[in-house]
Amino acid sequence: MSRPSNGNRPTNGSPETGSGYLEIADKGFGFLRSPDQHFSPKPTDIFVTPDTIKRCFLREGALVSGTLQPPHRGTNPQLRHVDTVNGMAFQDYTKAPRFENLVTIDPEQKINLETDPALIETRIIDLVTPIGKGTRGL
């Protein structure tokens, strides 16, 4: 999270900005957590409304940065406008295809795990669960 640690608002009239990794709660709202704070909840974490999460197609774990609405008494600062998501400009992020919507391809080249004929374990893995380039193995 890149917020001033003293909590003071900027004096030059420019809006305060912040960033962090999005953690979404069960009720739909979220907070931007900081790796500097080991992703632990802190009173200074930036609040993200459920409407912002839905409108901007934000996903848990995304690195989000944007301008903030100053905190009111007893509340967290709130994300007002999303500028970048995962290092991409927001406009580019919305155009990027989602992983679930990508076309799958069949592997063309097999990865051979069997390196030594004496190792029966790798031979069994090759027979039971062959792995190819482009596949995800468990």
Is there a domain that residue 12 lies in?
no
Same domain, 124 and 92: no
pLDDT for 8: 44
Distance (Å, rounded) from C-alpha 63 to C-alpha 48?
13
Is there a domain that residue 41 lies in?
yes
pLDDT in tens, 30-49: 999 999 989 999 988 999 99
Give CA torsion, residues 8, 89, 103, 130, to 10 deg. -50
Same domain, 23 and 88: yes
Nearest to 2 by CA among 22, 23, 17: 17
Count of domains in the chain?
2
pLDDT in tens, 50-103: 999 999 999 999 999 999 998 888 788 999 999 999 999 998 988 888 888 888
Helix boundaries (H) for the chain: 50-55, 90-95, 120-128
pLDDT in tens, 102-124: 887 777 888 888 888 888 999 99
| Other beta carbons within 10 Å of 81 | 13
Angle at 123 between CA 119 and CA 126, to 5 degrees: 145
Angle at 38 between CA 33 and CA 41, to 5 degrees: 45
Share of the chain above pLDDT 90, in %: 46
Same domain, 110 and 79: no
Nearest to 20 by CA among 55, 50, 58: 58
Share of the chain above pLDDT 70, in %: 87
pLDDT in tens, 14-28: 789 999 999 999 999
The enclosing domain of 42 has a CATH number of 2.40.50.140
Is there a domain that residue 7 lies in?
no
